[in-house]
Amino acid sequence: MRVIGTAGHVDHGKSTLVSALTGINPDRLKEEQVREMTIELGFAWLSLPDGEEVGVVDVPGHRDFIENMLAGVGGIDAALFVVAADEGVMPQTREHLAILDILRVQGGVIALTKIDLVDEPEWLDLVELDLRSVLAGTVLENAPVVRVSARTGAGLEELKKAMADCLAERPPRPDLGRPRLPIDRVFTITGFGTVVTGTLLDGRLAIGDEVEILPAGYRCRVRGLQTHKKKEEVAVPGGRTAVNITGIEVDQVRRGDVLAHPGKYKATTRLDAHFHLLPDASSSITHNFQAKFFLGAAEVKARVRLLGLETLAPGQEGWIQLELEEPVVAVRGDRYILRRPSPGETLGGGTVVDAFPSRRHKRFSPEVISKLESLLVGSPADLIYETSLTVGPATVSEILSKARVPETSARAGLQELLDQRKLILLEKGDYSRQDELLIIAQPQLSALTQRGQNLAAQYHRNYPLRPGMNKEELKSRLKLPPRIFNALLHWWLQNGDLAERGGYLSLPDHEVVFTPQHQKKIEELMRQFELAPYSPPSVKECQAAVGEEVYNALVLSGGLIQVSAEVVFRTEDYHALVEMVRKHFANQDTLTVIELRDRLNTSRRYVLAFLEHLDAIGLTVRTGDYRTLRPVKN
């Protein structure tokens, strides 16, 4: 499950475009609809051309509501960056782009909207050229630009395809076994109670789970789960998730709180972080300046202590220690934003390197700066592991190259991760050729395994009378390259995650079970075969008698053997025929259609279909009107 977030200047058509793409108006508040302006976060969903269903977070573009925008973009997989063709790049275009850059949102798609308002194609070219110069050097530098009109529908299908292509390049969100849901909306439903929503990170939630609301620590239980208004038993990382919780009142929860499994996370009021002040910030910042701190869906006031510097100029990077007025849930590696409270301005942001520093640091201690730099870079094992989580399944050499770990420490870090089974070699081979083998992080292996099993389970629900799905269909649904799919499939079969029977993939415990109604029809059909074993009902007559799905199940399970497009035999009758032909050739060298027809007292069409089938499987050879037994090769 993936999530796309809109971004862009006010009145550039973000909500209108989302509505045209999804059929859902994300502006749910009456005031939003009256003012035709997004104020709060809006949510929708759509199915992309490749069949993937994705969530859409629609954010405000007006500068007065930029802080509401920040609550919605923290958990997105890609951006739908909207620029109106009649206005081009505007102030919030740049500010939203800077925010996406700080949060390192991994790419997206540019929608050049309202093209129906522009008569001159040359103007669109100029706007796109200007846009490219603004995007240069940002996370959206290589994002495709699609020209669209929500009013006429022009370009919408191309936009959906571009979104699908963008998301296809992203590995699934890792399941680290420690779910956290930054809450961006809280409400109540009559008869159900408190409901919270957000983008689920780092783990799964299941109905019945005990959870806690941080930072307050309230304990409650998951009563229900929904994704895109569909009830779920289990919610997986990366999806927009609504959680119905019992044992807590709606006024005990607020935006910015985090729902998690008990004991997995702690709240903090002090953070060490690396900070980048935006080049176009209005001024330098000094020690102890006051700011608004945004992390996930949380917004708190903070005092910012500069470490190692007296001031930080626009465009510079440095170390800071944040003293927060209220506790938040943070994890090393989380991205954050700082804003000036008044006048409102996005200053910059960076990475949390230590969520629980033991004390206030001495500002100009070389030891402190050295420790923070080590935390930012991480150990060789940390770098290799985080790279693998980002890249997904890849060869050992690709992971080590992208991790940029010195060769002297890379091997030890890799072996440490393999010993801890945090990384898994998907392929076996000579250790000296290890660099050429595929490797994957354990959370991603678990996530892909679950996806494969879920697809198999869904196939069984849709087609309960089929033995399973074929390999190509599963590979296509998983959107994996052949080598990675084949390695994963071998792993799944070897570990019993999936089973293969007759070339079909299924869950290990899947069985084809006929209903009593099916069984009754099957028995009636088999009586017809018994009455005339060598003049049986045709394929079409069988399908009409029991239904196409039941007929196919009988063929695949071996109860019937189809020898041509029209002719089918019971398995026992088919084997009796084969044995009869073998005995014939024990005494005679040739066999004709007429000879076998007369012996069976049946019609030519059954005998001809059967003998042509024997030719096809290599038992007999036809020469003119005669057939002979194919010689056995030594």
Q: Tell me: the pLDDT tens digits for 223-240?
A: 999 987 788 899 988 888
Distance CA(225)–CA(231), nearest Å, equals 6
Q: Which amino acid is residue 119, in one-letter code?
A: D
Taking the alpha carbons at both ends of the chain, their separation in whole angstroms is 56
pLDDT grade for 14, boundaries at 50, 70 and 90 = confident
Paired tokens of 599: 């012996």
Sign of the CA dihedral 184, 190, 193, 199?
negative
Rounded distance between C-alpha atoms, residue 278 and residue 271, angstroms: 20
pLDDT at 67 over 70: no
Q: Which helix (H) or strand (E) holds 294?
A: strand 289-295
The fold of the 2-168 domain, in CATH, is: Rossmann fold (3.40.50)
Q: Which residues pair with 440 in a beta bridge?
A: 424
Q: Residue 404 and residue 383: Cα distance in Å, rounded? A: 8
Is 60 exceeded by the pLDDT of residue 217? yes
Please say whether the beta carbons of 607 and 614 come within 8 A.
Answer: no
User: What CA–CA distance (Å, rounded) separates 528 from 521?
Assistant: 11
Are the C-beta atoms of residues 111 and 15 closer than 8 Å to each other?
no
| Nearest-angstrom CA–CA distance, 293 and 300 | 5
Hunting for tokens 């290589």 — which residue is that?
A: 142
* Domain segments of the chain as ranges: 2-168, 180-260, 267-376, 516-629
Q: Could you tell me the pLDDT band of residue 68, with boundaries at 50, 70 and 90?
A: low
Residues in the chain: 634
Pair of tokens at residue 313? 């100029």
Residue 79 φ then ψ, to 5°: -105, 140
Name every residue whose Cβ is closer than 8 Å to that of residue 201 and which is 6 or more positions away in sequence.
Answer: 75, 173, 179, 180, 181, 182, 237, 238
Q: Is the confidence at residue 50, as pLDDT, over 60?
A: yes
Is the backbone peptide bond immediately before 343 cis, with ω within 30 degrees of 0? yes
pLDDT of 377: 80
Residue 387 to residue 116: CA distance in whole angstroms? 43
Span 267-376: which CATH code?
Answer: 2.40.30.10
% of the chain with per-residue pLDDT over 70? 94
Overall average pLDDT of the 407-435 stretch: 85
Look at residue 431 in the predicted model and tell me its pLDDT. Answer: 57
Composition of the chain by helix, strand, coil, percent to 5: 35, 30, 35
pLDDT computed for residue 41 by the predictor: 65
Can 2-168 and 180-260 be said to share one CATH topology?
no
Helices (H), 479-570: 482-495, 516-531, 539-546, 548-556
Burial of 355 (0-12, 13-18, 19+ CB in 10 A): buried
Q: Higher-confidence residue: 6 or 272?
A: 272
Measured distance CA(96)–CA(73) in Å, rounded = 10
Return the closest-CA partner of residue 199 out of 189, 188, 185. Answer: 185
Specify the CATH number of the domain 180-260: 2.40.30.10
Could you tell me how far CA 465 lies from the centroid of its own chain? Answer: 28
Q: State the fold for domain 516-629.
A: Arc Repressor Mutant, subunit A (1.10.10)
Helices (H), 212-272: none
Confidence of residue 72 (pLDDT cuts 50, 70, 90): low
Residue 28 has pLDDT above 50, yes or no: no
Q: Give 631's DSSP letter.
A: P
Mean pLDDT computed over every residue of the chain: 88
Q: Which tens digits make up the pLDDT trace of 294-350?
A: 998 899 999 999 999 999 999 999 999 999 999 999 988 889 999 999 888 889 999
pLDDT tens digits for range 250-308: 999 998 999 999 999 999 999 999 999 999 999 999 999 999 999 988 999 999 999 99
d(CA 388, CA 380): 12
What pLDDT does 212 receive? 97
* pLDDT of 453 higher than 60: yes
Residue 61, pLDDT > 50, answer: no
Lowest-confidence range among 54-63, 114-123, 395-404? 54-63
Rounded Cα–Cα distance for residues 371 and 365 (Å)? 10
Say if residue 21's pLDDT is above 70. Answer: yes
C-alpha–C-alpha distance, residues 181 and 189, integer Å: 20
pLDDT at 9: 84
Reading the block at residue 230, the tokens are 């569909």
Q: Running DSSP on this structure, what letter comes out for residue 362?
A: P
pLDDT of 86-139, one tens digit each?
Answer: 888 888 888 888 888 888 887 899 999 999 998 888 899 999 999 999 999 998
Which of 25-29, 398-402, 601-605 has the highest mean predicted lDDT (pLDDT)? 601-605
Please tell me the distance from the alpha carbon of residue 506 to that of residue 70, in angstroms, as a whole number.
Answer: 43
- Tokens at 387, concatenated: 């790279």
Look at the block and give the residue holding tokens 């770098």.
Answer: 383
Indicate whether this model's pTM tops 0.75: no
Other C-beta atoms within 10 Å of 310: how many?
10
Tell me the pLDDT tens digit for each residue of 522-572. 999 999 999 999 999 999 999 999 999 999 889 888 889 999 999 999 999
What's the rounded Cα separation, in Å, for the pair 422 and 406?
Answer: 20
Roughly what angle, to the nearest 10 degrees, separates helices 380-391 and 396-403? 120
Q: Is 406 exposed, middle or buried (0-12, 13-18, 19+ CB in 10 A)?
A: exposed
Task: Report how far residue 349's alpha carbon sits from residue 324's, in angstroms, rounded to the nearest whole number.
Answer: 15
